[in-house]
Amino acid sequence: MPHLEDVKRRQFLQYAVLGTMAAALPGFTLAEDRPINDTPDPAFKPDVEVELTAQIAEVSILPGANTRVFQYQGKLLKGPSHSIKTLPGYLGPILNLEHGQKVRIFFYNKLSEPSIVHWHGLHVPQKMDGHPMYEIYKGERYVYEFEVENRAGTNWYHSHTHEMTATQVYQGLAGLITVTDAEEKKLGLPSGEYDLSLVIQDRRFTAGNQFQYGHGMHQRMMGFHGDTILVNGQANSTIPVKSRAYRLRLLNGSNARIYKLGWDGGAPLTAIGTHGGLLEKPETLPYIMLAPAERVELWVDFSGRKPGTELTLQSLEYQGVMSPMGGRRGGMGMMTGGLAPGALFPIVKFQITEQVSDSPSLPNQLVSMRRLTEKDISNVGKTVPIAIGMRRMSFQLNGRTFGMQKHMDVEKIPVNTIQKIRIFHDNQMMGGMGGMGGMGGMGGMGGGMRGGMMGMMGNIPHPIHLHGQQFQILSRKQTRQSDGYDTVKNGFINSGWKDTVLVMPGEEIEILKPFEDFTGLFLYHCHNLEHEDMGMMRNFYVE
C-alpha cells in the first residue's frame, strides 16, 4: 500500500504537469474537459456579489515568526457593506447573508493545488454545492450563484477538494456564514458587538511557528488532534465583554477534535440555536458536545458580574473515545502534550471589562419550526441506511469508500420527498473481518495488538454530515453498551435542524431529512476530515 504522502505527491505532480500544459497551449483551458462553472449567468441578478480567492498568506498566530497559511480573501463587489466582514488571522471573511438574497461568488484559486468551496449547511443546487468533481486548478475560477433559502442561522464554508479537504481546511481554508431573516429580527436578540462568532480549531506548530500535520496511522484512525487550541485563529484568546447578555455563535472548525463545552464554574449552558438555525425555545444543558462542523448558538448572560472577573469556556473531560496505541488515555496525550481526545482544557476566556445596567432578557419562545414526523416520510419500510464500517484500515459508508460520481441503488433518493435514514455501526461488517483477514498488512501482529486495534475501531466516534437540507433527529439509542457514554450523553441537542450528527461508539441514530428542490449528487460523509479524505464519503443521487 503506498504511503499517503506518496499519493499526495503524485497528485501534486499530476496537477503541476496539467497546469503547465494548459498554460502552454493558447486557447486551451482545462475547464473545457471538466464540468466547472466559470461563467456568470447573465439572467441571474445578484443582490450580493463577492470575490473569494484562495491564496497563500502569512499571518501572526503565535509570538515570533508569522505562520504561512492558506486563506480565503474576500472582496465585496456588490451588496450591503456588512455582507462580508474581514477578520484578523487566517480565517476567511464572515459572509453575512439574508434569507431570500441572491448571491454570486466568484471563487478564484491561486494555490498550486486544486480546490473548491462548499457552503456547509446551505441548501443549494448540486453545481453550487462545491462537490469535489468541480475542483479548479490554479488560475481558474468557479462561479457560484444561488439564492439563500436557509432560515436564520450560522453556517460555514470550507474547502471540499478531493482527498485534500483535511489538509486545506487545516491550513486555513474555512470561514463563517451567517444568515438572518425577518422572524429572527423580530426577536431582538443581542446584535452588533453583542453577537460574537467563535471558530474553535486545534493545531500543532513547529518550533518555527508553522502548522504541523502528519499522515501517520494514528492520525488516519483518530483524525488529526492538535495541542494548541485556536479561537478565530488566535491562541490563548481572551474576549472582553460587558456585563450583559450576548449571543455566542460557536463553530467547531477542527478536523477531528470533539469538544465537550462547559463553563469553568459548572454553570449550565443555554442553547438557542443549532446548525439549521434558532430553536423553538431555549434549551439548558449541563454541557454540549460539539463535533467537527457542528455549530451551536448560546445565550450567555454576563449580567451582575464585576469588571475584572473572568469566565472560561472549557472542553470538559469525557471518556469512551479510545486513544490509539495507548489504551484509554495516555497514548495520544503523550504525543500531543496533554490534549488527548476527551482531556480537560480551556478554550476561551471572557473578561468583563465594563459594567452596564441594561441587558435584553432571554425570550422563552424563539421561532416556529416545521416538525417532521414519521407521517411525513415517503420511504416507509425502506429506511435509507448509513452503515459505518471499516475494511483494510479504511472507514467506509454502506460498505464502500468514495467514488467521485458513484452511487448505489440504496443511495438513490426521489426528489421532493422526506426520507427516514438510519445511521449505525455495521458490527456485522466488523465481525465479518474475522481474523482480520481484511486488514492486509496487519497479519503479523500479535493477538493483543489485534484486540487493541479492533477495540479502537469500534470506539471511534463519527460526526456524520449530509449535504443539502437540514434534518431532524427522530431517535437516538445505544445498541451496544460502550464505556464512557455516560460522560457525553447529556450533551446532545436533539431538537432543531441539523446537518451533522455525532455518532458515538455503540450509537444508532434515526433522522428525517427532506430532499427538496434540487436533483443531482449530494454528498454524505464523516466530517472527521481525515476520515473523509480516506474515503468515508458517498453520494446520494437525488432524481
Q: In what order do the strands lie in the sheet with 141-147?
A: 67-78, 48-59, 102-109, 141-147
Residue 225 interacts with ligand C2O (CB under 6 A): yes or no: no
Q: What type of residue is 452?
A: G
Residue 513 interacts with ligand C2O (CB under 6 A): yes or no: no
Binding residues for ligand C2O, rule CB under 6 A, total 10
Of 106, 199, 155, which Cα lies nearest the Cα of 500? 155
C-alpha cell at 452: 487493541
Contact 306, 355 (CB under 8 A): yes
Q: What are the distances in angstroms from CA 432 to CA 78, 209, 423, 455, 475?
A: 57, 45, 19, 15, 27
Complex with ligand C2O: residue 120 or 407, whichever CB lies closer = 120
User: Which residues 6+ apart lie within 8 Å of 82 measured at CB?
Assistant: 96
- Smallest gap from Cβ 537 to ligand C2O, in A, equals 7
C-alpha cell at 127: 453545481
Q: Is the dihedral of CA 226, 231, 233, 239 positive or negative?
A: negative
Give the footprint of Cu ion on this chain (CB under 5 A): 120, 462, 467, 526, 528, 531
Piece in contact with ligand C2O (CB under 6 A), picked from 100-108, 189-197, 379-387, 519-527:
519-527
Q: Strand pairing partners for 159?
A: 117
CA dihedral 404, 408, 411, 412 (to 10 degrees): 100
Q: In what order do the strands lie in the sheet with 238-242?
A: 238-242, 345-354, 310-315, 259-263, 288-290
- Smallest gap from Cβ 527 to ligand C2O, in A, equals 6
Complex with Cu ion: residue 219 or 528, whichever CB lies closer = 528
Residue 158 contact, options Cu ion, ligand C2O, none, Cβ 5-8 Å cut-off depending on partner type = ligand C2O
- Smallest gap from Cβ 379 to ligand C2O, in A, equals 23
Piece in contact with ligand C2O (CB under 6 A), picked from 62-70, 146-154, 233-241, 522-530:
522-530
Residue 465 interacts with ligand C2O (CB under 6 A): yes or no: yes
Residue 462 contact, options Cu ion, ligand C2O, none, Cβ 5-8 Å cut-off depending on partner type = Cu ion
Residue 160 contact, options Cu ion, ligand C2O, none, Cβ 5-8 Å cut-off depending on partner type = ligand C2O
Element at 121 (helix H, strand E): none
- Smallest gap from Cβ 162 to ligand C2O, in A, equals 12
Piece in contact with ligand C2O (CB under 6 A), picked from 256-264, 475-483, 510-518, 521-529:
521-529
User: Of residues 291-310, which lie at the interface with ligand C2O (CB under 6 A)?
Assistant: 293
Q: What type of residue is 33?
A: D
C-alpha cell at 294: 457542528
Piece in contact with ligand C2O (CB under 6 A), picked from 76-84, 208-216, 480-488, 523-531:
523-531
Residue 275 interacts with ligand C2O (CB under 6 A): yes or no: no
Among residues 400, 462, 467, 498, the one that binds ligand C2O under rule CB under 6 A? 467
Give me the residues that bind ligand C2O (CB under 6 A), please: 118, 120, 158, 160, 293, 465, 467, 523, 525, 527
